[in-house]
Amino acid sequence: MFQHPTVQLMKKLCLPICVAASLWGQVAFESRDDRAAIRIDRRPFANLYYGKEAHKPFLHPILTASGKAITRGFPIDPQPGDPTDHPHQRGLWVGAERLSGMDFWENDPSYHRPHMGRIEWQSLTRADGGHDRGTLAFVANWISEDGETVVVERRTMTFYTAPADCRMFDVELDLEARRRVVFEDQDDALIGMRLNPSFDQRNGGRLVNADGLSQESGVRGKRSRWIDWTADLDGEKVGVAVFDHPGNYNYPTRWHVRSFGFLDANPFAQRDFDPSLPDGSHALEKGEKLRMRYRILIHPAGADLDRFYKDFAK
């Protein structure tokens, strides 16, 4: 049976499973030189790349329960037909394009842009596998072009085994300012994803939000509790939903989306989307923290997303 090259590679990386899961644990991790491999129900799910070459940590690829990649392969593992735009858009990542004038978003090493910062991996602080869930946590420093650490990021990601026909995980962010910083009102922040080309609207992908608005024209810049992008992946109808937690700053968030399969949940962009709105920039004083939580659900088309959202909101 044919297997996607990325799946074959992850299987090689994930054997043997060696981190902190019981013999029958269904979420397990293996730490490598440049990544941590994640398995759910003994199957590859994703790699957490530490990001030294990419200027940020990121998850790639991210797979469905059946093993299909919901993320674009380029530039890590290019696949036939992959678009090659925006090489900084790698799987799932965190950042901000304008943080007190510094760019922690469009900061790929191949770029020559002014004031590019980097999000530099410091340490893996937790890798606990288990039967129904497993948790990875790490620390990363947001470092300016002058070498100053301006934000310390503590990220915790929890991966779940249920439902069996889905893949679900939470991303919890704790961003601590080391000096006064401002998350500026601009559309690229705070958590982003670049999806498989099958999600492109031109290829039949369909985007909706919790209020029933659809496609880029209806969803971009609007507040919503969640958005969901569906596509046909090699004959399988798959959805990718991202949920904004009600405890988050400026909930419900506004969403920056592009028709080619890009999304980010952005609590700061406001006037950028609508010039009639007040400036949405948000300052953190030295020592102040911003805590945010998101859930990503990869599901069969037709799932009851409101029910999933209520479970997350509790």
- Residue 150 Cα distances to 77, 247, 272, 290, angstroms: 32, 24, 24, 13
Reply yes or no on whether the pLDDT at 266 is more than 60.
yes
255 or 18, which is more confident: 255
- Statement: the pTM of the whole predicted model exceeds 0.85: yes
* pLDDT greater than 60 at residue 13: no
Predicted local confidence at residue 20, as pLDDT:
39
Quick one: CA dihedral 122, 125, 127, 132, positive or negative? negative
Give the distance from CA 136 to its chain's centroid: 14
Say yes or no to pLDDT of 24 above 50.
Answer: no
**Is residue 260 predicted with pLDDT exceeding 50?**
yes
Confidence (pLDDT) at 51: 85
Average pLDDT, the chain: 92
Q: Does 20 or 54 have the greater pLDDT score?
A: 54
Vertex 92 angle, CA 150 and 265, to 5°: 75
pLDDT class of 1 with cuts at 50, 70, 90: very low
d(CA 174, CA 195): 25
pLDDT in tens, 197-211: 999 999 999 999 999
Q: Is the confidence at residue 159, as pLDDT, over 80?
A: yes
237: confidence class by pLDDT, cuts 50, 70, 90: very high
Angle at 154 between CA 137 and CA 127, to 5 degrees: 10
Q: How far apart are CA 62 and CA 299, in angstroms?
A: 13
User: How confident is the model over 168-183, as a mean pLDDT?
Assistant: 98
Could you give the angle at the alpha carbon of 82 between the alpha carbons of 79 and 83, nearest 5°?
155
What digits encode the pLDDT tens for the residues 95-109? 999 999 999 999 999
Can you give the chain as a three-state secondary structure string?
Answer: CCCCHHHHHHHHHCCCCCECCCCCCCEEEEECCCEEEEEECCEEEEEEECCCCCCCCEEEEEECCCCCECECCCCCCCCCCCCCCCCCCCCEEEEECCECCEECCCCCCCCCCCCECEEEEEEEEEEECECCEEEEEEEEEEECCCCCEEEEEEEEEEEECCCCCCEEEEEEEEEEECCCEEECCCCCEEEEEEECHHHCHHHCCEEEECCCCEHHHHHCCCECCEEEEEEEECCEEEEEEEEECCCCCCCCCEEEEECCCEEEEECCCCCCCCCCCCCCCEEECCCCEEEEEEEEEEEECCCCHHHHHHHHHC
How many Å from the N-terminal Cα to the C-terminal Cα in the chain? 42
Domain 5-313 has CATH 2.70.98: yes
In this structure, what token pair is assigned to residue 243?
Answer: 């949920």
Domain boundaries, the chain: 5-313
**What's the pLDDT score for residue 2?**
36
**Mean pLDDT for the stretch of residues 34-41:** 96
Rounded to whole angstroms, how far apart are CA atoms 39 and 18?
A: 11
Segment 72-91, tens digit of pLDDT: 999 999 999 999 999 999 99
